[in-house]
Structure 1
Amino acid sequence: MIQCWRLDDSRQTLVLGSQNDHLAEVVYWGPRLSDTENLTTLYQAQLIDVTGGMLDQNPELSICPEATRTFPGQPGMSLRGAGGKPLLPKFCFEKAEQKPGKLTLTFSDKSEKLTYTARFAIDERTHVIEAQAFVDSDAPVHLHWLSAPVFPATQFSDEMIDFAGRWCGEFQMNRTPWSAGMRYRENRTGRTGHEHFPGLIVPCRGATNTSGHAYAFHYGWSGGHRMAAEELPDGRRQIQFGHATRVEMEAGRHFETAKLYAMFSDDGINGCAIAFQRHLRDNVVTWPDADRPRPVHYNCWEAVYFNHNLPELKDIANRAADLGAERFVLDDGWFGERDDDTQALSDWEVDPRKYPDGLKPLIDHIHSLDMTFGIWFEPEMINENSNIHRAHPDWALGGEDQILGRQQKALNMALPEVRDFLFDRISAILRDHDIEYIKWDHNRVLPSPDAAQTRGSYALIDRLREAFPHVEIESCASGGGRIDFGILSRTQRVWLSDSNDALERLRMQHNAAIFLPMAVTGSHVGPRECHTSGRVFDIRYRAWVAAQRHMGFEMDPRELTEEEVTVLKEVTQWWKDNRHWTIGADILRLDSADPAVIAEQQLADGGGRFVVFAGKADTSAQIAPRPLCLTRLTADATYRIELINRADAPELSRGNPLLKTETLEVSGAYLMNHGLTLPWNFPGTMWVIEGTKV
C-alpha cells in the first residue's frame, strides 16, 4: 500500500510518500505541480532500478533513514537503552494529521516502545518549509544523534555551498563538489559558532545569484550542530541537520530537534535569500514595538573600553547625538570592579567607583539628548576573580583545570539556581533604570557541548522577555558566534562581527544576506584606523558600508575631523530618510562581472524603488568598470536612476559617463540585460545608486 501527502505554495511542491507503512520519504521537491498530479504515480516513478551488486530492493531514503532497513548511508537516529544497549527501531506508520499548509506524520515501534513524529509546515508568503522531528520513549533512553526530517539533495547539482569563519572573519563561503561519500561538518563549541554557520545552499547546475534553481537549508539552534551531505553509491543524496552528536547528557523520554528551515528557489540564490530574510524578519523575530523605526545605534566600546568616566561619556554622547545617533549603548566595564577582562564577570551590580551616584545621571543625560539607553551583559559567563565565583565555584561549567577563554569560564545554565541568580541581578538593573536595550554577549566557547546549556540560556532569555517585554536584545558572541533562527526567535538584532573594518564587513554582509535581513543585522561605522585589522579607510566607505544594514557608530567621535563629521551626518540622514522602506526591502546579491566589485540591490516591497550599493573591494583587472546588471525589475517599466554620491568621484575619474553627470531614465530590460555603466573609482570606495519606477 502506498500513502502520499503534499504541501504546496505558489512556488514549490513537497510530496512525501510511504509504502507498506514504512517511514515516509520525500519523493518530489521542486517547482509547483498541478493540483491533479497523481501522487501514487510519482512515488512509483521515482523508484530507481536494481542491477548487479545491489540489494534486491533499494532501501528508502526516508525522513529518518533506518539502519534496520539495510540503508547504506548515515542513519537519521542513534539511540541506546538506559543500560547502554543499542536500539535499532523499525518504525511503522501510525497516523497522519494534515491541515492547510501543515502535515504531521507519526510512526511507532511497538517492540522498542518508541514513537517518531515529523512535522512540516509551509509558508505561502515566504516559501519557507519548517521541518522538525520528535522522539518519545516509554522508558528513558540515551540519544546520540537525531536528524531533523531528512531531505533529498538534487542530483542536478555539481556543488554545495556552506559557510566557515573565524573571529573577525565570519560567513566565508565554501564550495565543495559533490562526490561519492559524505561532506560532514560538526560544530562542537557549544554555540552556533563563527566556524560553521548552520546553513547550506545546494545550487543546481548553472545557478547564479539571480537565476536558476537552488535549494537552501538553515538549522535554527544555538548550541552547536552537525551537518551531513551524503551521496550514496546509487547516486541518491541526502541532507541531514541536527544538534551536535552526544550533547544529550542524560537519559530521557522525549527528544526533539530544532526547526530545519528549507526552501526551493526558481530565482537563483537570491530566491533563497529573500525567503530567509522575510521569514526571519516577519515570522521568527518578535519585536517589542514593530512600528518603531530602527534607531541609529551608538556603542561606546571602541571609544572607552573599560575606562568609564561620566564626564567623558557625556561628551561622547553629545557628539554621537549630534551625528544622528538615537540609541546609546554602555558596553563592558560598568559593573563590579571590572577594570579589564580578567575580573568581575557575574558581579552584576553597578560599580560605585565609576558611578558613585549610579547609572541614573548618565541615563538622564542620554535621555535629554533624545536617545534611548542600552547596556551590555554577558550573563552566561563568570571570571574566577569574581565575588560570585568565590561564593559558588560549583556554578562554573567544566573542570577546575580547564583552559579559560578571555580569562573566563561559562556558568552552568542547566542549574535552576544559576538562572534564578542571573534573572534577579539582571532584573534589578532593568527594573531600577529606564533601559530599552541589552547587548547580550557570549565571549568564549564551552568546555564541552551540552544541549542543556542552550536550553537553559533560552529559558533565561524567555523569562526576561516576559518580564520586560519592552526591552530589545542583541545577540553577540565575540561578534558573529551566535547567529541563528533559534536565538533570533528570542532577540531582535545580531552583531555580525567584531570587525568594524569596512572591507571585511562588505564581504561578510554580502554573504550573510543569504540568511539575514537588514532589520536585524547591526553594522557600525568604526574608527579611522580599524582596531582589529589596522587598516585605514575613508569615512565615506565606512559610512556607506554601515548604511547597508542596521546603521550605527562604534568609534570615538572625538577623533573625527570637521569633514568626517559632515560626511557622516549626511550618510546617516540618508539612512534615516530611507529606513521606512529599506527595513522591509529584499537584499539581492548581484552577479558582478567584475570580481573586484561586491554589489547588492535593495528592492522595496512592491518593486517601486531600489538602491544599489556597489563596493570596490580590490583593484580591477581591466581599466574601465564592467557594466553591473540589476535584477528583479519590470522589463517594460521605466526607471529613474541617480548616482547619489557622484561628488565622491576621485580626480583620476576624468571622463563623463552619463550616470556621473545626470539622472537617467531607462527601461528595466536595459538595466537587467546591459546594466549600469559606473564611473571609475579606487578600491575601498562605494557607489550608491537610487532607482525609482517612473
Structure 2
Amino acid sequence: MGIIVQENTGLFHLQSAGMSYLIQMVDGYPIHVYWGDKLKHREPMANLFIHTPETAGLDRLFQEYPQYGSGDFRNPAYQVELEDGTRITELKYAGYKLIKGKPLLAGLPAVYAENEAEAETLELELKDDYSGLKVVLIYTVFAGRNVIVRSARLSNEGGKKLRLLRALSASVDFGGKGDLDIIYLSGAWAREGNMTRRALHQGETRIDSKRGMSSHQLNPFSALVTPETTEHHGEAYGFSLIYSGGFEAVAEVDSFGSTRMSMGINSFDFSWLLNPYESFQTPEAVMVYSKQGLGEMSRTYHRLYRTRLCRGKYRDEERPVLVNNWEATYFNFNADKLVAIADEGAKLGIELFVLDDGWFGKRDSDNSSLGDWYEDRRKLPEGLADVAKRINKLGLQFGLWFEPEMISPDSELYRKHPDWCLHVPGRRRSEARWQLVLDYTRKEVRDYIYDSLSAIFSSVPVSYVKWDMNRALTEIGSAVLPPERQSETAHRYVLGLYELLERITAAYPNILFESCSSGGGRFDPGMLYYMPQTWTSDNTDAVERLKIQFGTSLVYPVSAIGAHVSAVPNHQVGRITPLDFRGNVAMSGNFGYELDLTKFSDEEKEMVKNQVISYKQIRGLVQKGDLYRLKSPFEGNESAWMFVSEDKEEAVVYYFQVMAVPNAMRRTLRLDGLNPELEYEVWSGDRGEKSSYGGDRLMQLGLHLAYRQKDYESGWFRLKAVKEG
C-alpha cells in the first residue's frame, strides 16, 4: 500500500488493499490514467497513458483538474477571472510532496487518520506563471480502504487580485468504461433518500443544490456504475462531498463516449476574491471504488464515516433509546405533562427524554421567538432545570431542541438586531415558516448563539441536543461584507456554522448532538463531523421509512440514522400500521419513540417494553455492524436487510412485506455477509422458534419466511455462531 512515484515517467500510483489510482504527467498536464481494481506495480510503467493524436488538443485528454479556455470544452474543475477581466489560465505541473498520514483541513470538516501508518497523502503542485495562480491537488489513500479523498487548495502568488468563479473539489475522466449509469438520492421534504438510477447519455446530468444547504431534494452523493452492477456484483464508483452548503455533482458524457464526473461547491452564484498571497481550500470529495456492487461501496463509506469522520465520545458509544414529545404534544405542554411521558418511558426501559420545540420565548406556535433562547416560565414556572432534574430522578437523561441558525421577526432578538439576518438592503426579506436565517458570516451573531446555548448548558443537565434548521437560504447577502465579496456569503455562512459547531461541541463533549433540517434537509458528511447522528426525515410512517432509510444507507452509516416509532394514524400520511411493524423499521437505526406513551394500552406498553429490551440487546450490532441490503423497497412489495458483526459470528435480519398477497408462494430470504464455514443458531424473533443452519446454506438457499395473510407484516431473526465443543 501507499503512493509510488516513478519520477522518470511522471507516474504516480496510489494504492490501497484492493484499489489503484494512476496519474501521469503528459506535457506538464496531470492526466488521469486509471481508477479501479488493484494493479501490481511494475518498473517501469511508462506506457499506461493512452496517447491521443497530437492535433486532438486538451479536449481528448483525460485530466485530473481541467481548465477552460485552452482547448478543453467540457466542464472545467476551476475558473479564475484576472484583474483585466480575462479568464484564461493554464496550470502546469511544478512538483509534488508526499506526506505520511492525513493533514486536517483548516476550518472544514474532513475524514482523518488516527496514525501515520493508515494513510498517505500526495500533494501535486500546479502553477500558471502568467497569473500567479497556484493549485495544490491533495489526494489521500488509506491502507485498508478502497477510498481516495480529494480536495484542492488554490492560492494567489502573483501581485494582482484573482477572483475564483469555480473551485471544485474533484474531477475524474472515465475513458474506456463504455456505458455508465448514475445513481443518486432524490426527493423532497418527508420523502428523502429516494434512489434514482438512469443511464448516462451524451450531455450533462447535474445533481445540485442552490439552497445554501445540501437539501431534501438532492443529496451531495452520486455513484457511477456499469449497467450490469447490482447490490452484490459489478463495479461502482462513489462520490460524496463533505460539505453542508450548495453543491454540484455533474456527469458529462462527451461526443467520444468518455464521462467526466466532477463535484464540489456549487458554481452558481459563487465567487471568491483572492488577494495576493491568499488561499482558498475546497471541501473534500470522498471517492470509493467497489468491484462487488453497491453493497460493498456502501459498507466502505459506512466504516469510513462511522470511524474516521464522526468524532468524540459518541463515535463509539451505543446511542440511548429516547422518547421525544413533539408528536405527543406539539406546542401544548406543561412540566407535569412532560414528566408524565418521561415517567412512563422510564417504566418501559427508555433512557432519554427529549423536549422538542416550544419551551423558549413565547413560543406557542412556529411563528415567533426563534433567537430568544431563554425558558418560557408560563409553561415551565420552575424552569428548565427543574423539569430536567425531575426527569433525571426517574432515571432518564434530558435532551433539548434548538433551532440556533434562525430568527423570528416576532422576537426580542429581531427587534433589537434586525440587521442580524441574511438580507439585501432595499429588498424584501422572504420568510419561510415565519422565520429568517441568521447571518453566520458575522462573529457577533455566532458569539450570541454560543453564549445563549452555553448559559443553558451550564445551568441545565442537558445530555442531548437536537440542532434543527428548518429553511433554505434566501436573499443571500451580508451587511458586513463589501460589495466585491457578497457572492462569498453562502460559503462564508457554512464556514461560520462550522466554526460555531467546532467551538460548541469541543466545549460540551459529553452532549450527544443530533443534526436535523426539517428531517433530512441537511443529511450530509459535513454535519456528521460535528454531530454523529441525524434526524433522517420528519416522515415517521413506517412504510415510507423503508425507502427513506434504505436509500439513505447507500452512503450513510446506520449509526447516523435517527428512526422513531410514532403514533397512528401517522401524522404525515394518515396510515395505520401495526406497532411491531413500526418497531422493526425503527430498530434498524438509532431507536426511539415520538408519541404520547401515557395513551398506550397495557398491551401496547408491554410491546414497547419488549421492543426496548430487544433493541438494547442488538443495538451495538445495528449501530456498528456491516449492513447488507437484501431486498429493495424500490423494487417490490418486500424489503429486507441485515447487520453482521465484524467477526461474522453474529447477525440480525429484518424483513418486511407492505401489502398482503393472495395465494402467495412460500418465500425464502437469502442472507449475505456470513461465514460459509460457520454453523449458526437462528432464533426467529416473531415466532420464537430456534434452529441451526450452516452459513453456506443461509446464503445460498436462504431462510424460509412465515406468511401471514395481512398487510404490514414484518419479522426478524437473530443469528449466533455455534461454538465447537
Residue type matched to 2:279 in 1?
Answer: H
The one-character-per-residue Cα deviations of 1:39-91 (angstroms, maximum 9, x if unpaired) are 32222xx33568xxx836754221211224411311111222356x1322111
Partners in 2 of 1:126 and 1:530 — Cα distance? 41
Q: Secondary structure at the match of 1:201?
A: strand
1:464 Cα offset (Å): 0.8
Partners in 1 of 2:358 and 2:57 — Cα distance? 68
Q: Does the CA contact (< 8 Å) of 1:217 and 1:263 recur in 2?
A: yes
Unaligned runs of 5+ in 2: 1-7, 101-119, 477-489
TM-score under structure 1 normalisation? 0.93
Structure 1 match to 2:674: 633
- Worse overlay, 462-471 or 340-349: 462-471
1:492–1:56: structure 2 CA closer, same or farther, 3 Å change rule?
closer
1:176 Cα offset (Å): 1.7
1:403 Cα offset (Å): 2.6
1:38 Cα offset (Å): 4.1
Q: Secondary structure at the match of 1:525?
A: strand
Structure 1 residues 180-329: aligned runs within 5 Å: 180-248=202-270, 250-252=272-274, 253-290=278-315, 292-329=317-354
Structure 1 residues 426-465: aligned runs within 5 Å: 426-448=453-475, 450-465=490-505
- Worse overlay, 383-392 or 676-685: 676-685
Whether 1:151 aligns to 2:151 is no
Partners in 2 of 1:14 and 1:633 — Cα distance? 30
Residue type matched to 2:382 in 1?
Answer: D
Partners in 2 of 1:111 and 1:25 — Cα distance? 22
Partners in 2 of 1:529 and 1:665 — Cα distance? 39
Out of 10, 27, 43, which is 2:17 matched to? 10
Structure 1 match to 2:153: 134
Structure 1 residues 339-488: aligned runs within 5 Å: 339-399=364-424, 401-448=428-475, 450-488=490-528
Structure 1 residues 508-523: aligned runs within 5 Å: 508-523=548-563
Whether 1:122 aligns to 2:141 is yes
1:486 Cα offset (Å): 0.9
Structure 2 match to 1:598: 639
User: Identical aligned pairs, as a percentage?
Assistant: 28
Q: Does the CA contact (< 8 Å) of 2:205 and 2:250 recur in 1?
A: yes
Whether 1:673 aligns to 2:673 is no
Structure 1 match to 2:479: none
Unaligned runs of 5+ in 1: 648-661
1:256 Cα offset (Å): 2.2
Q: Secondary structure at the match of 2:705?
A: coil
Q: Does the CA contact (< 8 Å) of 2:402 and 2:465 recur in 1?
A: yes
Partners in 2 of 1:126 and 1:56 — Cα distance? 36
1:585–1:383: structure 2 CA closer, same or farther, 3 Å change rule?
same
Partners in 1 of 2:652 and 2:287 — Cα distance? 28
Residue type matched to 2:472 in 1?
Answer: V
1:237–1:291: structure 2 CA closer, same or farther, 3 Å change rule?
closer
Whether 1:60 aligns to 2:85 is no
1:405 Cα offset (Å): 0.8
1:315–1:13: structure 2 CA closer, same or farther, 3 Å change rule?
same
Structure 2 match to 1:47: 51
1:157 Cα offset (Å): 4.5
Q: Secondary structure at the match of 2:219?
A: coil
The one-character-per-residue Cα deviations of 1:368-426 (angstroms, maximum 9, x if unpaired) are 12211111111110110001111111111124523311110101110111111111111
1:582 Cα offset (Å): 2.8
Q: Secondary structure at the match of 1:147?
A: strand
Structure 1 match to 2:92: 92
Structure 1 match to 2:132: 113
1:693–1:313: structure 2 CA closer, same or farther, 3 Å change rule?
same
Structure 1 match to 2:686: 645
Out of 564, 573, 576, which is 2:613 matched to? 573
Residue type matched to 1:41 in 2?
Answer: N
- Worse overlay, 612-621 or 358-367: 612-621
- Worse overlay, 393-402 or 271-280: 393-402
1:191 Cα offset (Å): 0.6
Partners in 1 of 2:491 and 2:34 — Cα distance? 33
The count of aligned residue pairs is: 673
Partners in 2 of 1:186 and 1:342 — Cα distance? 30
1:317 Cα offset (Å): 0.7
Residue type matched to 1:406 in 2?
Answer: R
Structure 2 match to 1:335: 360
The one-character-per-residue Cα deviations of 1:602-642 (angstroms, maximum 9, x if unpaired) are 11111111111111134458712442221122233322222
Partners in 1 of 2:462 and 2:451 — Cα distance? 16
Partners in 1 of 2:255 and 2:180 — Cα distance? 16
Out of 624, 635, 655, which is 1:584 matched to? 624
Structure 2 match to 1:102: 121
1:290 Cα offset (Å): 4.6
Q: Secondary structure at the match of 2:669?
A: coil
